[in-house]
Amino acid sequence: MGKFNVLNAKGVSRRDFMKLMAVTTAAFGLPATVAPQAAKAVGEALEKPPVIWLSGMECTGCTTSTISTIKPSAADLILDKLSIRYHEVIMAGTGDVAEEAYAETLKEAAGKYILIVEGSVPPDASKDDYCIVAGKPFRETVLEAAAQAKAVVAVGSCACDGAGIPGASEITQAIGVRDLLKNNGIATPVINLPCCPVKSQTVIGTLTYFLTYGEVPPLDSQGRPLAYYGMLLHDNCPRRGRFENGEFLKDWNDPAQKDYCLLLKGCKGPKTYTDCASVWFNDNANFCLNAGSPCSGCSETGFYAKFNPLYVKNDDFHVPGVVGQVSPDLIGAGVGVVAAGYLAFSTVGNIARGRIGKKSKEHGGDK
């Protein structure tokens, strides 16, 4: 059976498939001519490149987001075509059968499989009790699997830097996969795909790029693909016009303010790099700011602890490009002037950083 016949049998039309490839290659800024090459690479994935998906300290939200949202579905393209050999949430096997599948993959596909990690990791043996899977410290399993992987993909904020919800207190001292490998001298490349949860398009696009080119996509200093995390949310926000006009929401109960800028309600958009304004969650159904919620900054290092409380104004909020701290009250009072000032500085800053006028190569996110 040809690969597109196989896809058809799964309810995925050739048109849907090619459309996804076109969107994916466009997201990476690649020419349209690459789409067939990407399609071929994923088609060859019908030969099932092995994937091990480990779940540590997390809520399973990233699995849910990845497998339930896109058409053609992520379940078709990732779970079936990529042959996930081990995933505690979706695999049919349990107990010893499941653990044997993991052990066999390590043995048979050493150096060939992609390791996906969801969730944060205890930092050392003294904290191992916070995450034991199948009677074994999760930290040891990640180290074992990462050492023989072709590449590691950390999905969701917890896996990227350990600072998600499981690591928000001092108790677990959870860390991300990249730091764990670095601390233990393992050089396997790590691609960070933060957000709480990660978007399915981000996971699929990144894996497609890796299958197509056999290398990790261009990353920023936080290890995130520039294709998905190379843009400042604030620059693309649907409420940006309100910001420029100095219209800031102060009263949640006032219908007239419902589309106003949410800066005074704790929005982290001016310091958060993500494509959320253009690529939405749940099959492009919606995203935080469009649903009336301020951005919580979940794609940035340090989320959640560094950015809480999420829905109240930040005292002395730092506006990128403006020297010193700017109080939200001052912004609310002197709105037009401050917003105009911000725009001027932001534009100059963007040009200086290469975000306007030429392609950005790398950034670490403005803090």
Q: Report the distance separating Cα 121 and Cα 123, nearest Å.
A: 6
Q: Please give the residues from 153 up to 172 whose contact with ligand SF4 meets the rule CB under 6 A.
A: none
The one segment of 120-128, 205-213, 255-263, 344-352 that binds ligand SF4 by CB under 6 A: 255-263
In the set 234, 271, 313, 363, which binds ligand SF4 (CB under 6 A)? 234
Closest to ligand SF4 by CB, 164 or 270: 270
In the set 270, 297, 321, 365, which binds ligand SF4 (CB under 6 A)? 270
Q: Report the distance separating Cα 24 and Cα 210, nearest Å.
A: 12
Closest to ligand SF4 by CB, 37 or 257: 257
**What are the residue ranges of helices labelled H in 81-148?**
95-108, 138-147
Of all residues in this chain, which one has the CB nearest to ligand SF4 in the complex? Answer: 269
Closest to ligand SF4 by CB, 205 or 328: 328
86, 101 contact by CB (below 8 A): yes
Helix axes 200-213, 14-27, angle to 10 degrees: 80
Asked if 267 touches ligand SF4 (CB under 6 A), the answer is: yes
Binding residues for ligand SF4, how many (CB under 6 A)? 14
Closest to ligand SF4 by CB, 217 or 269: 269
Asked if 261 touches ligand SF4 (CB under 6 A), the answer is: yes
303, 275 contact by CB (below 8 A): no
How many CB atoms are closer than 10 A to CB 322?
Answer: 16
Local structure of residue 79 (DSSP, 8 states): I
CB of 260 to ligand SF4, least distance (A): 8
How many CB atoms are closer than 10 A to CB 360?
Answer: 16
In the set 62, 143, 289, 338, which binds ligand SF4 (CB under 6 A)? 289
Asked if 240 touches ligand SF4 (CB under 6 A), the answer is: yes
In the set 49, 164, 269, 365, which binds ligand SF4 (CB under 6 A)? 269
Asked if 239 touches ligand SF4 (CB under 6 A), the answer is: yes
The one segment of 86-94, 147-155, 256-264, 312-320 that binds ligand SF4 by CB under 6 A: 256-264
Strands (E), the chain: 51-55, 84-87, 114-118, 132-133, 136-137, 151-155, 190-193
3-state SS assignment for residue 55: strand
Nearest residue to 203 via CA among 213, 217, 220, 214: 217
How many CB atoms are closer than 10 A to CB 151?
Answer: 19
* Site residues for ligand SF4 per CB under 6 A: 233-234, 237, 239-240, 243, 261-263, 267, 269-270, 289, 295
